[in-house]
Amino acid sequence: MSENNFDIVSAVDLPEVLNAVQQSRKELANRFDLKGSESTIELNEKESRLVLISANEYKLKAVHDILHQKLVKRKVPLKALTAGAVQAAAGSTVRQEIIIQNGIPVEKCKEIVKVIKQSKLKVQVAIQGDLVRVSAKSRDTLQDVIALVKAKDFGIHTEFTNYRSK
């Protein structure tokens, strides 16, 4: 019998995020309502986080909206972004951190495994670091698992990769 498997992952294409940030910065420099507000977007690729800074909450929301538009155009899933609270910053400005999710947190992995096991489908499910591997003898069963996971909202961005037939 052949064994088929795939991985459930949550990954964001950081070069696309970088491109979206650069496009957003250009728009911030040219927007009439944001001129002189010293609004900026900083990307820390190592920590997978964005920092938005602006003069006040209204302008920060405009910066946020511009960034979201650029991310959507570059097909970066907004579900993979977790926005923190708006905080007061130096020089009477406000800032907001946005964490870019790369990898599925352990508690979400466990939740995905639980849902798949409750479905009574004949598959083997294993958590491997920050992804979930699903194996089965039948490709159709794997397709059923993909449909099941897509139908349920886990509150995170999920993708299906590494589909293999042996």
Reported as a single tens digit per residue, the pLDDT across 124-148 is 888 888 888 888 888 888 888 888 8
Whether residues 96 and 108 share a domain: the answer is no
Residue at token pair 């993979």: 80
Residues 95 and 113 in one domain: no
What is the C-alpha radius of gyration for the chain, rounded to an integer number of angstroms? 20
pLDDT bin (cut points 50, 70, 90) of residue 2 is: low
Domain boundary among the residues 78, 100, 122 is at 100
Distance (Å, whole) CA 100 – CA 98: 6
Query: Residue with structure tokens 């579900």?
Result: 79
Same domain, yes or no: 20 and 44: yes
Regarding whether 110 and 92 lie in a shared domain, the answer is no
Same domain, 18 and 86: yes
Per-residue confidence band for 102, with pLDDT thresholds at 50, 70 and 90: confident
Q: Is the pTM of this model over 0.85?
A: no
Q: What was the pLDDT predicted at 43?
A: 85
Of 55, 78, 52, nearest in space to 64 by CA? 52
If asked whether residues 109 and 95 sit together in one domain, one would say: no
SS3 assignment, position 159: strand
| Residue closest to 161 by CA, chosen among 137, 138, 128, 115 | 128
Shared domain check, 160 and 113: yes
Would you say residue 92 has pLDDT above 60? yes
Token duo for residue 8: 């459930």
Backbone angles phi, psi at 86, to 5 degrees: -75, 130
Residue ending a domain, among 46, 80, 100, is: 100
- The residue range of the domain holding 75 is 14-100
Sign of torsion, CA 7 156 101 19? positive
Same domain membership, residue 161 and residue 92: no
Instruction: Give me the mean pLDDT over the 2-29 stretch.
Output: 86
**53 shares its domain with 20:** yes
Comparing C-alpha atoms, which of 164, 100, 165, 161 is closest to residue 131? 161
End-of-domain residue from the set 68, 100, 132: 100
What is the reported pLDDT for 37? 73
Domains contained in the chain, number: 2
Query: Residue 23's closest CA among 78, 54, 67, 53?
Result: 67
CATH of the domain at 87: 3.30.70.990
Whether 117 and 157 share a structural domain: yes
